[in-house]
Amino acid sequence: MDCIFCKKIEEKKECLFENELAFAFFDGFPVNKGHTLIIPKRHVKTFFDLTKEEVAAMKELADKVKEYLDKEYHPDGYNVGLNCGEAAGQTVMHCHMHIIPRYVGDIENPRGGVRNIIKGISLY
């Protein structure tokens, strides 16, 4: 299958952490310092296709990634998110969790966090 994330797992390329079911690596086009992706080793499209075991494996890596990023970059907070489907902005069709460190002052007004994504269509 022609999937850039499956290829990374196969080649163990840029691996930051891995366990039996999941794999973590730095985003190639980071939106902030330390932006990391966590993926299941099995090729599925979205979060909703994951088994409970895969969710647990990704959470285990998320905790390791946080510990690592806290030590390396000292962020003040995190945005954690998954884009599920083209309409939601997903561009790589292998499920991935974004771990995005946030720093006080990195944008003028961070209020709302991931909710800002849908500002344009917000009902309120």
73's enclosing H/E stretch is helix 52-73
Q: How far is the CB of 28 from ligand 5GP (least distance, A)?
A: 3
Query: Which residue in 74, 94, 96, 98 is the catalytic one?
Result: 96
Q: How far is the CB of 90 from ligand 5GP (least distance, A)?
A: 4
Rounded Cα distance between 44 and 97, Å, is 13
In the complex, which residue's CB is closest to ligand 5GP? 28
Which among Zn ion, ligand 5GP, none contacts residue 36 (Cβ within 5 to 8 A by kind)? none
Binding flag, residue 85, ligand 5GP (CB under 6 A): no
Residues sharing a CB contact under 8 Å with residue 42, sequence separation 6 or more, in sequence order:
21, 54
Which among Zn ion, ligand 5GP, none contacts residue 43 (Cβ within 5 to 8 A by kind)? Zn ion
Q: What six digits make up the tokens of 68?
A: 């690592």
Which is closer to ligand 5GP, CB of 31 or CB of 107? 31
Beta strand 22-26 pairing with 36-40? antiparallel
- Sheet strands (E) in the chain: 15-18, 22-26, 36-40, 77-81, 97-102
Q: How far is the CB of 58 from ligand 5GP (least distance, A)?
A: 15
